[in-house]
Amino acid sequence: MMRVNYLFLLVLFALFSSCNSTPECKYDPPTPLFDAGNPAVKTQQFSLNEMSSSETVSFNNDLKLELLQSGCDKLAQEYRFEIPVADGSKDPAFWAARAVDLFQFLGSTNPNIFEVANAWSSLIELQKGQIPLDEDYPITEGFLLNLSAIKSANFSTLVVQIKEAE
C-alpha cells in the first residue's frame, strides 16, 4: 500500500511540474557585456527581463550604445550606436564601414568580447559592398545581419541587428 502512495505522489508531482514549468531554453539569459569599472566606460546600466536584456553604455569618447539581447532558442542582438557626428549618407557601404569601426572599438574596450567583436567586424568588412540597408543579409552560415541608419539633428544612429536565421 505504501508503494501506491509514493507512486501516486510521484505522478501528481510530475503532472504538476509539467503544467507549471517554463520551457527549457537552448541558451542562458543574457549577461552584460560592459561594466562601470571598464576604463573606456563612462556610465553603464543593465536590466534583465527573463530571456531579454537591455544594456546602455556611454563611452569616454562620447559614443553611446544601447544593446538589446534576447533568445531562448534563437539568439538576437541589436546594437544601437549613437554616433556624435551626424551624417546623412544613404550609402550602405558607408554604414557597413562604420559598423566595422564600431565593432573594432567594442572589441578594443573589452577583452571578454574581443574575439566575437573582431569576427563580426571582419565578416562585415569582407562583405561591406554587398550589405544593403534595412534588409536581412546572410552574413555567415546561420546568421542574418541588418543595418539601419537614422539621422537626427545632432547625431546619427546606426542600428546593427544580428540574429540566428530560421
Please say whether the beta carbons of 158 and 99 come within 8 A. yes
The model's pLDDT over 109-126, given as tens digits with 9 standing for 90+, comes to: 998 899 999 999 999 999
The answer to whether residue 5 is domain-embedded is no
The answer to whether residue 1 is domain-embedded is no
CA distance 62 to 67: 16
The answer to whether residue 54 is domain-embedded is yes
What is the 8-class DSSP label of residue 133? Answer: B
The model's pLDDT over 57-83, given as tens digits with 9 standing for 90+, comes to: 999 999 999 999 999 999 999 999 998
- Structural domain range at position 48: 26-164
The answer to whether residue 103 is domain-embedded is yes
How many C-beta atoms surround the C-beta of residue 156 within 10 A?
Answer: 19
The answer to whether residue 99 is domain-embedded is yes
What is the 8-class DSSP label of residue 71? Answer: -
pLDDT at 162: 97
pLDDT at 166: 81
Q: What residues of the chain score a pLDDT lower than 70?
A: 1-23, 86, 88
The answer to whether residue 150 is domain-embedded is yes
How do beta strands 41-49 and 64-70 pair? unpaired
pLDDT at 86: 62
Q: How many domains does the chain have?
A: 1
The answer to whether residue 3 is domain-embedded is no
The answer to whether residue 13 is domain-embedded is no
